[in-house]
């Protein structure tokens, strides 16, 4: 299962890298990913990890750049469609995979807020006595 996920991630990242290959955003994304890994901030790691798929796999897309020029037109059309679907697939996978994290953080924040209200209430009761 892990190998399948790695292969899918590599393919989707490579396809997304092809879509933004000539964009400076890919380099910014790589820097964000490195900063996120170094500082171990979860949001930066998530966003950076998504962006790093697109940025680091540009090397693979450069090596395979010739496929658009040697293939026939119908193959090019299907290939571009796969790339676009893969790009939105990466975006969707990233958002969906982060939903549990967002729910967990929201739940922790709510619990902390409730705990602080409880502590304030107990403090007031203690002061009255």
Q: Is residue 129 a part of any domain in this protein?
A: no
Q: Is residue 33 part of a domain?
A: yes
27 domain-assigned: yes
Which backbone phi and psi does 64 adopt, to 5 degrees? -100, 15
Domains contained in the chain, number:
1
Domain residue limits at 66: 2-97
Question: Is it the case that residue 18 has pLDDT exceeding 70?
Answer: no
Does residue 14 fall inside a structural domain? yes
Binning pLDDT at 50, 70 and 90, where does residue 122 land? confident
Q: Give pLDDT tens digits for 103-117.
A: 776 777 677 666 766
What integer is the mean pLDDT of 84-103?
Answer: 65
Distance CA 41, CA 72 (A): 46
pLDDT at 82: 61
Question: Is residue 124 in some structural domain?
Answer: no
Domain contains 34:
yes
Which residues have a Cβ under 8 Å from the Cβ of 90 and sit 6 or more positions away?
12, 13, 16, 50, 53, 54
Evaluate whether residue 18 is within a structural domain: yes
With respect to residue 126, please indicate whether it lies within any of the assigned structural domains: no
Q: Is it the case that residue 93 has pLDDT exceeding 60?
A: yes
């Amino acid at each position: 299962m892990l190998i399948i996920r790695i292969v899918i991630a590599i393919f989707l990242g490579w396809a997304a890298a092809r879509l933004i290959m000539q964009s400076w955003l890919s380099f910014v994304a790589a820097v964000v990913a490195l900063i996120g890994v170094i500082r171990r901030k979860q949001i930066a790691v998530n966003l950076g990890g998504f962006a790093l798929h697109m940025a680091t796999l540009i090397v693979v897309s450069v090596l395979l750049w010739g496929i658009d020029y040697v293939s026939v037109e119908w193959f090019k059309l299907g290939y571009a469609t796969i790339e676009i679907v893969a790009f939105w697939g990466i975006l969707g996978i990233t958002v969906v995979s982060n939903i549990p994290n967002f729910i967990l953080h929201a739940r922790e924040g709510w619990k902390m807020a409730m705990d602080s209200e409880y502590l304030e209430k107990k403090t007031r009761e203690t002061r009255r006595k």
